[in-house]
Copies of this chain bind each other. A is one copy, B any other.
Amino acid sequence: MPQYVRVEKVRLLVVDDDPPIADLVATVARYEGWEAVTANSGEEALRLAAEFHPDIVVLDLMLPDLDGFGVLDKLRRSGAMVPVVFLTARDGVADRVAGLTRGGDDYLVKPFAVEELMARLRTVLRRSAGPGFQRSVLQVADLTMDEDTREVRRGEKLLTLTPTEYEVLRYLMRKSPTVLTKAQILDHVWEYGFGGRSNVVELVVSRLRRKLDESDDGTAPLIHTVRGFGYVIRQAAE
């Protein structure tokens, strides 16, 4: 029997008892063009879920009243089949979570990097959209990044990136041709609460350039410095 799935603005419910964290996630999501609401307790989460009908939920497992598992259970009992991405403390209940994530739902350990969370949310959404879901391939000029195979190519040439390089590049590509400040990059790609006082971003960009821009000689560089502001990745535009 044929089915029709409607695709529109993503609705996100963020549940975390720490308001700054919940807001952080909601803000980033809104900036992506999503609709986001936050709840700071289990009760509130259930109430909001019922009236907001989210497409996806970010759920902290450590909640003051009802804990994350309880919320999930009630959510499911009420027939809400929405996918969930869990948040958990470093060495907290990670193992217990594992049992819940086999399905395809996902989880992330706090403190996490915002971009990573968003990437996982997108992946989960993409997968739950139905069979034959689309590959996600980012492209800027002759540079491509396949988010499923993690293959990054400059033209034909396959590049080997470290995790950090990969994340920074993904963020730049996703936002291209917007110029991003070092602070933005730091805030999105590194875990919140990262104490890096130094020039990490410059360092990673430097390494990226060596792999991207010097990969073929003769090709124009793609990562550009906007002095006094930040970086962009795009086809050289004078």
Interface string of A133-176 (1 = CB under 8 A from B): 10000000000000011110000011000110000000000000
Stretch of A58-66, A180-188, A198-206, A213-221 lying at the B interface? A180-188
Least Cβ–Cβ distance between A38 and chain B, in angstroms: 8
Given contacts A6-B4, A179-B149, contact A102 B237 (CB under 8 A): no
Stoichiometry (number of copies): 2
| A residues contacting the other copy or chain, number (CB 8 A) | 72
| Of the residues B9, B227, B237, B238, contact of A163 by C-beta under 8 Å | B227
Q: Which residues of A contact B (CB under 8 A)?
A: 1-9, 11, 19-20, 23-24, 26-28, 30-35, 73, 76-77, 81, 83, 95, 98-105, 114, 127-133, 148-151, 157-158, 162-163, 177-179, 183, 186-188, 192-193, 195, 197, 226-229, 232, 234, 237-238
